[in-house]
Amino acid sequence: MTITDAPARTGTALRIRGLRRTFGSAVALDGLDLDVAPGELLALLGPSGCGKTTALRVLAGFEKPDSGQVLLDGEDIVPVPANRRDTGMVFQSYSLFPHLTAADNVAFGMRMRRVAAAERRSRAAELLELVGLPDHGGRFPHQLSGGQQQRVALARALALRPRLLLLDEPLSALDAQVRVNLREEIRRLQLELGITTVFVTHDQEEALSMADRVAVMRGGRLEQCATPAELYDRPATAFVASFIGTMNRVPGRLAPDGQAEVLGVTLPVDGPAAGATAFLVRPEALDVSADGPDLVTGSSFHGASTRLRVRLADGTEVKADLPSHAAGAFGAGAAVTVRPQRRPVLAAGEEA
C-alpha cells in the first residue's frame, strides 16, 4: 500500500464527549462535545485562552482530561499513551531533530517501530516527494527554510499512516506568503490522503479557507461548529458573529411583527431579540450614497473593494465595503443604509 492509498472509513472518526480539563481553579475545557467525520478537516478556532490548544493536547495524549471521552474509530483513547495513539502531530516550532537529515527525520518514527530499513527509506522518499521536497532528503534542518522544515515535519507526521492528524498552529511562525502557499499544500495533501484532521489556529482566515467545518471556542466551551459559510452568514451567537469576520453594531429597534428596523430598512431577525436596541450587520451589507447626514472619515483600498469608515449622524462608527470603482465618488457627506437582503441580522448582546 502506498502513502496515498487511504483506507475508506464510514461513520464518525472522532467523537469527543464531556471533555473537562482544569488547571487549579482555571477551567481550560468545560464539557466539550465534538464529532469529526472520516476524512474531515476540523479547525478549532478561538481567542487566546479559549481551550483549543488544551483540547488538541488531550487528543494527542500530552494532557489527561479530568473527565470525558475521546473515541477514535469507537475506541476510547484517553487511557492510551501518546506514543501508542496512532496519531500524527505537527507543531508550530517544527520540532525536527537538528542532527538528522530530512529523510532521517521523516523515518524516525518508523525506526522506533522497527520498520525495516529498506521500507523506511522508500516511504521517507515517497513522503518527501509528496510534500514537494524530493531532492532535500540529505539536507539537515539548518539548511532548510522555515516552510521546508514544516513540510518535513508534516511528512514525518504522516509516515506511520496515522488515523488522526493533529496540527498545532503549524503556519504561525512562517512569513505571510509562505503561510498562504503552505496552507494550500496542507489542504491538498489532506484531501488527497483522506486523513481525518484537527487543526488549531487563532487565525480566522486560515480556518475559513482550509477547514470543512470550524469549531469556535470560548472559555473552554463550544460556541458553534459549522461550515465556514454557515459561521459567516448564520452565526449562532453575537460572540461568533463578531469574532468571524468584521461586524458592525448598528442601532435599531424591534418592530411589532418581530423584524428589525435598522437604518430605515426592515430585516428578519435570527435568534432571540426581545428588547434589542442594536443589531449586527456585515460591512458588505451596508450601502452608502452621497449627500447625507453621515460623515465619511476614511477609507482603505482592498483591490476589488474599498472599505469606508463612516460616522453616522448619531455618532456610531461603522465600516462599509463598496466596489472600488464606486467608493471614490464620495465626499465627506454620505447616507448609510442596509442593502435589501434575505440574510437575517442578529441582535447585539453586551459581548458584541
Residue 45 reports pLDDT greater than 70? yes
pLDDT, tens digit, for every residue of 220-271? 999 999 999 999 988 988 899 989 989 999 998 888 888 888 998 888 888 7
Query: What pLDDT is stored for residue 256 in this prediction?
Result: 83
pLDDT tens by residue, 196-209: 999 999 999 999 99
Q: Which residue has the cell 483600498?
A: 301
CB neighbours of residue 89 within 10 Å: 23
pTM of the complete model: 0.87
Please report the domains of the chain, with CATH numbers, ordered by start residue: 14-238 (3.40.50.300), 249-347 (2.40.50.140)
Q: How confident is the model at residue 1 (pLDDT cuts 50, 70, 90)?
A: very low
Phi-psi region of 203 (alpha: psi -120 to 50; beta: other; left: phi over 0): beta
State the DSSP string of 224-265: EEE-HHHHHHS-SSHHHHHHSS--EEEEEEE-TTS-EEETTE
Question: Pick from 95, 91, 98, 125: which is nearest to 110 by CA?
Answer: 125
The mean predicted confidence, pLDDT, of the chain is: 89
Are 117 and 125 within 8 A, CB to CB?
no
Distance CA 61, CA 69 (A): 12
Determine the Cα–Cα distance for residues 58 and 77; give it in Å rounded to an integer: 10
Catalogue the long-range contacts made by 256-263 (C-beta closer than 8 Å, 24 or more residues apart).
Answer: 260/345, 260/347, 262/338, 262/345, 263/336, 263/337, 263/338
DSSP assignment string, 264-324:
TEEE-EES--TT--EEEE-GGGEEEEEEEEEEEEEEEEETTEEEEEEE-TTS-EEEEEEEH
